[in-house]
Amino acid sequence: MQISSKEDYFKAWQEASENPENFWSKVASEYQWKKPWESVQSGNFTDVNIKWFDGATLNITENCLDRHLQERPDKTAVIWEPNGVDEKEITYTYKELHAEVCRFANVLKDQGIRKGDRVVFYMSMVPELLTGVLACARLGAVHSVVFAGFSAQALAGRIKDCEAKMVITCDESYRGAKTTPLKEITDEALKDCGSIEKVLIRVRTGASVPMKEGRDIELLPLLKEASPHCDAVEVAAEDPLFILYTSGSTGTPKGLLHTTGGYMVWAGFTFENVFQMQDDDIYWCTADIGWITGHSYITYGPLLKGATTVMFEGVPTYPEADRFWQVVDKYKVTHFYTAPTAIRALEACDIELVKRHDLSSLKVLGSVGEPINDEAWQWYHKEIGKENCPIVDTWWQTETGGIMISSLAGVTESISTYATYPLPGVIPQLLDSEANVIDDKSGEGNLCISKPWPGMARTIWGNHERYKETYFSAYKGKYFTGDGSKRDESGRYRITGRVDDVINVSGHRIGTAEVEDALNEHHHVIESAVVGFPHDIKGQGIYAYVICNNGKAPTSEEEQENFKKELNAVITKIIGPIAKPDQVQFVSGLPKTRSGKIMRRILRKIAAKDISNLGDISTLLNPEVVEEIKKGAGL
Ligand code: PRX
């Protein structure tokens, strides 16, 4: 169902709100189901037992692939652009992609993977990451992609949590000028993971890697031998499709579980309406499949809609900081979807790097992952879009499965820094500090969603109580997003950022508690507190306040630098380099309330170098420490 005017958008939103059964059964009927549903939606946010299209059966890959074989077998489905400019791209038509996915599914089957088994992918952006997740879906196996920047320990934690049977990795990855030894990291992780029976290795760099007899097998030779036919396994709409781990404000990462039918309908519907593609358009989302954006808007959304999707292995700055623009020019990309952090980083480079490429193919620009500041928005609009391309600022989360609030390209207006309107089916509410719904048209508060939508995660793998507690306990009967938002007189939303202890570093979501736990593993650290602070390129940076054991605090600048290196090594080992602090301040204490709670608000202000309105600190357990911390921060 493509919405093509603003009037239609309002009508669709109204209908989806008032008569969701009718609306979603119309949208869902565009897909192939093996058995129809008995009910469109059931369950509620009080019992937290949401189901969509219950009773129906399907296979999502038939909708991504087989369905297109009649109408567009020779249309390019995927263009894979390698890391290096000298290497040739690989393209797959829908027919070829179908065959590749079937081959991969046959390999998985031969290696013992069956419906319901969990398969972890720890790969860089090679084509087999995309075909591999689809191959799992073809068999009804559950994929869980772990971003290839995570450490062995982080990988092991995820493998153990979902009790995966198989890991698929590369020998090494290419990313810019760097290679990362993914197989070596996997081996390290697997020392401690009993559930893994097989490891498939996709050779990418050709590095020599140890192979464990009976466990490790090279992937490409198996694919070559495999049959390109594989029947799609029939699964229930509510059967698991994938698990994706993400950070929260407390505890270990959560494995959000997405199920099949509702996710499919949501990914397809949101892709179609937000991006508004024409049949011969070329779409490029620069995310990594290790994150939700790469699941919904490199893989499932575009393929469900028969689009051509570009998949890029490299980084925006390699071999030079014009790579994005060079690739847009090379493939005549029409729809370009990236993160504000990339925009800011490229904005800081010489404008000649943009000007040397022809960007006239572009029609629509997108932004995702964090709030986009006005300056970056204007630069994107002017220098990349040449003031001709609507910008869709898409707000959503790993938990939501797909875009929730965004303009629809060329259909509803784009406004700098505003995600603008909720998609049909999304009923946002703003709540004030007393948990009252803000009824006025405009306002500011905590952002909740009051009704179920098809793409929402159904649970946290293995821990439904935690799911309920995390998302549905702050405001009874509502899904709490963890974000704050403003709303203007016209009902348009402007997301202001997280209101919980989650920070968004270069669009990567990092729980402060996770970083603290990792820092505390250092044998000379007694306690730490981690907060976000404004960062010109990353959006938010990580600021760590660290208390050392008696007599172990580094004093000279050199000692401090060495200690910081050790802390970075601990973080890299436990989480991965993405969680390394940008700033570390050694302190003798942390401001605490009399009940022992760390006053993060004060720490956030000091990290932001803003010491106005620190509030009444006299009631703290240790008010004197605030002065010391201010001084240590140079304030
Ligand atoms: O704070 C919001 C921010 O990213 C969080 C979700 O992160 P993650 O689950 O990793 O998914 C990122 C990709 C969808 C949100 O809670 N966020 C995401 N998109 C936007 C955003 N903040 C403002 N504007 C956006 N467009």
d(Cα 584, Cα 426) in Å, to the nearest integer?
40
CB 504 near ligand 1, within 6 Å: yes
CB 292 near ligand 1, within 6 Å: yes
The closest alpha carbon to 152, from 624, 631, 576, belongs to 576
Q: Please give the single-letter amino acid code of residue 344.
A: R
Q: Does residue 624 form part of some domain?
A: yes
Q: How far away, in angstroms, is 631 Cα from ligand 1 center? A: 34
d(Cα 132, Cα 121) in Å, to the nearest integer?
8
Among the candidates 233, 267, 293, a domain finishes at 233
Q: How far away, in angstroms, is 495 Cα from ligand 1 center? A: 9
Tokens of 386: 């040449």
CATH code of the domain covering residue 513: 3.30.300.30
**Count of the separate structural domains present in the chain:** 2
d(Cα 21, Cα 42) in Å, to the nearest integer?
10
pLDDT in tens, 330-339: 999 999 999 9
d(Cα 538, Cα 370) in Å, to the nearest integer?
10
Question: What's the confidence (pLDDT) of residue 255?
Answer: 98
Q: Does residue 364 form part of some domain?
A: no
CATH code of the domain covering residue 121: 3.40.50.980
Q: Does residue 352 form part of some domain?
A: no
Q: Do the Cβ atoms of 450 and 429 come closer than 8 Å? A: yes
CB 494 near ligand 1, within 6 Å: no
**Pocket perturbation via mutation, ligand 1, pick of 147, 274, 370 by most ligand atoms within 8 A of CB:** 370
d(Cα 65, Cα 137) in Å, to the nearest integer?
12
Among the candidates 216, 233, 250, a domain finishes at 233
Element (H, E) at 587: strand 583-587
Q: Where are the beta strands (DSSP E) in 384-507?
A: 391-394, 428-431, 443-449, 459-460, 479-487, 493-498, 502-505
The closest alpha carbon to 119, from 37, 2, 242, 298, belongs to 242
Q: Does residue 453 form part of some domain?
A: no
pLDDT above 90: residue 634: yes
3-state helix, strand, coil in the chain (%, to 5): 30, 25, 45
Which residue's CA lies nearest to atom 15 of ligand 1? 397
Question: What's the confidence (pLDDT) of residue 5?
Answer: 98
Question: What's the confidence (pLDDT) of residue 380?
Answer: 98
Q: Does residue 104 form part of some domain?
A: yes
Parent domain of 116: 94-233
CB 369 near ligand 1, within 6 Å: yes
pLDDT in tens, 247-282: 887 778 999 999 999 999 999 999 999 999 999 999
Q: Does residue 411 form part of some domain?
A: no
Q: Which atom of ligand 1 is nearest to the CA of 399?
A: 9
The least confident of 79-93, 155-169, 407-421, 499-513 is 499-513
Among the candidates 233, 248, 264, a domain finishes at 233
Tokens of 410: 């060329």
Q: How confident is the model at residue 614 (pLDDT cuts 50, 70, 90)?
A: confident
Tokens of 238: 């509510």
The closest alpha carbon to 498, from 600, 346, 345, 611, belongs to 600
Q: Does residue 164 form part of some domain?
A: yes
Q: Does residue 210 form part of some domain?
A: yes
d(Cα 167, Cα 184) in Å, to the nearest integer?
13
d(Cα 237, Cα 77) in Å, to the nearest integer?
25
pTM across the whole model: 0.95
Residues β-bridged to residue 235: 58
DSSP state of 399: G
**Pocket perturbation via mutation, ligand 1, pick of 147, 254, 297, 396 by most ligand atoms within 8 A of CB:** 396
pLDDT in tens, 149-191: 999 999 999 999 999 999 999 999 999 999 999 999 999 999 9
Give how far the C-alpha of residue 477 lies from the chain's centroid of Cα atoms, to the nearest Å: 25
Torsion sign (Cα): 23, 26, 32, 38: positive
